[in-house]
Structure 1
Amino acid sequence: MKIVVIGGTGLIGSKVVTRLGEHGHQAVAAAPNTGVNTLTGEGVKEVLQGADVVIDVSNSPSFADDDVMKFFRTSTTNLLDAAGGAGVGHYVALSIVGTDRLPESGYFRAKVMQEELIKGSGLPYSLVHATQFFEFAGGIADSATTGSEVRLSGASVQPMAANDVAAAVGRAAAGAPSNGTVEVAGPEVFGLDQWIRTVLIARSDPREVVTDPQSRYFGAVLKLDSLLPGRDAQIAQTHLSEWLARQ
């Protein structure tokens, strides 16, 4: 199959392209640096010609509330229009476990809007909801840092490796459209504070992680289970200790 990966040169997208290619698919990486810009529409119709599947793993360059909403609304609308015109038979998008539970977060509101556009498009689709990536631990720490302290909630998380996220997205794309959502998560549950503390210690980062139940996670105060998947989630294999050992 010809499978176009939007955001195909990024962290997840590049891994998805590699995996699909290894399984015999014609995987095409599409991103602004390959001449495909979903915000302006440049190159979108052209790259989707003859595509069986489109995968959207793109992300907004800015997490400011208005910027991220504009990105996902414009990008997804352009992609859906082009995919429908090209006769694409399967639209796959990567999203986040817990999107509908955190309306305080502008980012999560934008992801909910993206999913609603896809569901209402009339195109066959599959949504993959993943938990936090191990690779994003540093960014989460930076977003919560004041001086030498990292203030984070103790809410539970079940993070996973980017390789495992890519594998889940690839499986969804190679299969039939589910017209629904699958959740994927790592094999271990941590407190958000505990997870980030473990990573910072492993990196000899001197910042102190302070547990603060009222600290905001991308604009939202977390409940204990806000970021946890349901019982039917697919569980990935890579443990945090294994991932850290490979860094």
Structure 2
Amino acid sequence: MSNSWGSVGTRWLGAGLAAVLAVVTLGLAATGRLALYINPDQAWFAVGMAVLALVGAVASFLLPLGAEADHGHDHGHDHGHETPEPARSVARAERAKRAEPHRALPLGAIAAATGGTLASAVAVAALVLPPASLSVDLAMARDTGTAPLFAGADEVLLASTDTSDFGVGDWASVFSTATSPDAYEGTRVTLTGFVTPDETDDQTLRLGRLVITHCVIDAQPASLPVVSPDWQDALDVGGWIEVEGVVTTDASGALVIEPSGISPVAPPDDPYEY
């Protein structure tokens, strides 16, 4: 009986968990919510791997339960020749050892059981809990004041680049690395993000957004300074806003946004930039 339960556990931790995660991935893709977890450009790969995993999991049921534990220790005969006595003795010893009752669980078994339980809990939670985006609080906790590492390409540093499609992440890269800030002065922007405070200037709010390169694990916060002396009276930290304005420089020569309008908006369906 214990061997049967062990085989069931092995099957669950392998094919079972793979099948659950594959179903979750395909369900998110079918409902258009996979972008809450990965970059949409990577969706084709995730869906393809999920299909392969599901096919493999289904095919694994063709293997008899417990067959994965049979490593062929006792072959009896090899191409018509009798197995040498030493080999048969080793096989019998291994079978006897497996048949002996275990008085105490080894450390490896305890670790495997703990890991399997945690992995099962994560897989089941992914299956039953509704998908959700990362929170603004998490973005604020991750914010170190630096631009996202992979936000935009090298071309964002060139003043001749078309900035009409720039998001918060692209502009954050420009603001932090531009060697000629005045080249961007007067550029009109319309950007959407969440409100975070500027720790060094209470006359300025920071417009934030999470930027994803591959998946939510590597999500990095990006933020832009928006000059708005009375923002704390009209806006809530963590609330989403749309900012219309122009890029300019402050007294120290750093790039900031001078807004012509700030409007509260509902959180977007896809809260990330890529």
Q: Which has the higher helix share?
A: 2
TM-score by length of 2: 0.21
Greater RCO (CA < 8 Å, at least 6 residues apart): 1
